[in-house]
Amino acid sequence: MTIVLKCAHCQPSLSLEDFKRWLKQFDRNGDGLISKRELRAAMRSASVRLSWFKSQEGMREADANGDGLLDDEEMENLVAFAQNRLGMKIVA
Ligand SMILES: [Ca+2]
Ligand SMILES: [Ca+2]
């Protein structure tokens, strides 16, 4: 699956499930959690024009329990962040 997130205005909407499925491709160590490093790899691959700082910010906002890893529920927080701050279109 190829998802390009860089153009919010010309992209078809992405569903929440699609987004999570896409994100989980970057779960390198297969623990079902997305680490900071894995998140950065995902952002790079999506061609999101996103600074390292932004990805840190996204992680901080999404990581509810502060363990530096995103579980399933926290990935949904990341979706909200991407929608509100990055202008991505994701439909539930
Ligand atoms: Ca992982
Ligand atoms: Ca967490």
Q: What is the pLDDT of residue 8?
A: 45
* Mean pLDDT, the chain cut into blocks of 10 residues (92 residues total): 47 78 94 94 72 80 97 93 80 68
Indicate the SS3 state at residue 7: coil
DSSP lists the bridge partners of residue 91 as 15
Q: What is the pLDDT of residue 10?
A: 44
Q: What is the pLDDT of residue 51?
A: 64
CA 79–ligand 2 middle distance (angstroms): 14
Residues near 18 by beta carbon (within 8 Å), at least 6 away in sequence: 1, 3
CA 25–ligand 1 middle distance (angstroms): 10
Domain boundaries, the chain: 32-91
Neighbours of ion ligand 2 (CB under 5 A): 63, 65, 67, 69, 74
The domain defined by 32-91 folds into Recoverin; domain 1 (1.10.238)
Residue 67 to residue 51: CA distance in whole angstroms: 22
Q: pTM here?
A: 0.72
